[in-house]
Amino acid sequence: MVDFLYFHVGRYGWPAFNLADSAITLGVGIMLWSQLRDARQPPTGEKPS
């Protein structure tokens, strides 16, 4: 199984990166974004006093 990806076009190449680490970083970022978004929304179902 290939874990590191390296893309190039002609003589130009993009730095190699680890696919598994990228997926973990993306997942943690989505989790944090979701939790911050939910924390900013008012609770539903409660009547204002």
Active-site amino acid positions: 3, 21
Instruction: Please list the residues that pair with 12 across neighbouring strands.
Output: 9
Which run of H or of E encompasses 29? helix 19-40
CA distances from residue 18 to 4, 10, 22, 36 in whole angstroms, order as listed = 4, 22, 6, 27
